Amino acid sequence: MADDQGRTLEGCEEQLIKREKKKFTSSVLIACVIAASSGLMFGYVIGISGGVSAMKVFLAKFFPSISRDPSKGSSGSGNYCRYNDQLLQLFTSSTYVVGLISTFGASYTTRNLGRKPTMLIAGIFYLVGTVLNAGAQSLPMLIIGRDFLGCGIGFGNQATPLYLSEVAPPHLRGGLNILFQLNITTGILIANLVNYFTAAYPWGWRLSFALGGIPSLLLTLGSFVLSETPNSLIERGYLTQGKQVLEKIRGTDQVEEEFNDLVEVGVASSLIKNPFRDIIRKKNLPPLICAICLQFFQQAGGINAIMFYSPVLFETVGFGSNASLVSTVVIGGINAVCTIISMVVVDRFGRKILLLEAGVQLFIAQVGIAILLGLGLKDSVNLLTPMQAMAVVLMVCLFISGFAWSWGPLAWLVASEVFPLEVRSAGQSITVCTNLLFTFAMAQSFLSMLCVLKYGIFILFAAFLVAMTLFAALLLPETKGIPIEEMSGLWKRHWLWRRFV
């Protein structure tokens, strides 16, 4: 029965893909702007924490033990331990564990209330978190504000990509998928620039937090003017409204064929009562395992350790506060540019070749960082020479560039491609939860691991990168140009996964 439902869904999607291209209407353009505000805010939340953590006034107010003696963290001493403080790590990491938990609520509202209300809820959470952070008078108030931002991440990341995929013409869906990732990297870059310009003022950290209200407000107000997606309306039984919205976003009243297909998909989807139970069936284990591994290796290579704490890392190796923020701005720019490169080349060269090339590049960068720190930075108060410190920055740039055109966007893209239609929503929820779980683990542990392992932490990242590259080479199939209805055949041709399907 489940197989018949799956074939029904796949057949409907094939018809949708083969349909003639519809024009890019103003309604879709507005949707892209709103999606950009959600992605920008997510990126802003990622980028803002590391910069303010390097501001002396901010540290003096909320983390006075670090501010009083920068050579000593809460445990240990020396350069590697100067920022080792569990509460400082909790300031960053709590956002993502709350985001993980809120994903379950977002999954419910997205399905039962719609994509539009879920995006509105995300915007409200972002606004509340921004106000609490900008006006924080104590550490608990600061962390509670970050937790509200985490709820915004959970709801926004669940609803916004889904909204985009459902309103965009079929021939634009792939590009809009990576466009959302580009907006995230742009948000990180903007946060780095804001931190650089506000660091000189005693109240600069408050302004850094407050400016996050701009994309938050755009998302909140924009959610009021957006139409609900036709998919969501039809799935919840509002057929007339669904057809009206479909005509609006396609720019034509000739939508009968697409409307009928959406109705059929909605009926078939409603027959699947528990997709989370179906996803652990033997035939669905290959895409499930691959999606989870993609998210694990994306984080285990050390990307968010660098994105969250790059200003702190650069101060550790000898840069002043201002110079460390400048270096972080450069990294943010490279991140954005290389994400654009990914958008251009991914459908030309394929997913797998980019992942494999990046595995080698990321390994070289992490080993290079470890060697430079091991030779030049002792566990005392000495600093790297200017040449050594600049070499560390270059290695970080090498790492960021390789990640941005490969494992950054492609871990999400491939995970969205490998699941069959009947369990795709459940697969997406598991993918998001897995990513946020490992993001939390990295954010909460990196500074402590840096204190204990010293330069060895980058050797550990390099070891994970070896495993990551082997996984991509041996276990991950190439999904470029493979229609959804042929994905099961892809697994059947794989030397290992064919035993499951």
Quick: pLDDT tens for 7-23: 444 554 454 444 445 56
Residue 13 counted as domain residue: no
Q: What is the CATH number of the domain that holds 352?
A: 1.20.1250.20
Q: What is the pTM of this model?
A: 0.81
Return the structure tokens found at 427.
């697969």
Residue 351 counted as domain residue: yes
Residue 380 counted as domain residue: yes
Number of domains into which the chain is organized: 1
Q: What angle do CA 248, 249, 250 make, to 5 degrees?
A: 95
Q: How many percent of the chain have pLDDT more than 70? A: 85
Three-state secondary structure call for residue 72:
strand
The pLDDT tens digits for 180-196 are 888 898 999 999 899 98
Average pLDDT over residues 490-500: 89
Residue 248 counted as domain residue: no
Average pLDDT over residues 137-146: 96
Alpha-carbon Rg for the chain in angstroms: 23
Between 48-52, 188-192, 411-415, 487-491, the lowest mean confidence (pLDDT) is in 487-491
Task: State which residues form the domain around 462.
Answer: 25-226+272-499
Residue 256 counted as domain residue: no
The pLDDT tens digits for 335-344 are 999 989 988 8
Backbone φ, ψ for residue 60 (5° rounding): -65, -35
Burial tier of 365 (Cβ tally within 10 Å: 0-12, 13-18, 19+): buried
Residue 452 counted as domain residue: yes
Residue 471 has pLDDT above 60, yes or no: yes
Do 187 and 160 contact (CB within 8 A), yes or no?
no
Q: Quick one: pLDDT band at residue 172, thresholds 50, 70, 90?
A: low
Residue 217 counted as domain residue: yes
Residue 472 counted as domain residue: yes
Average pLDDT over residues 435-448: 89
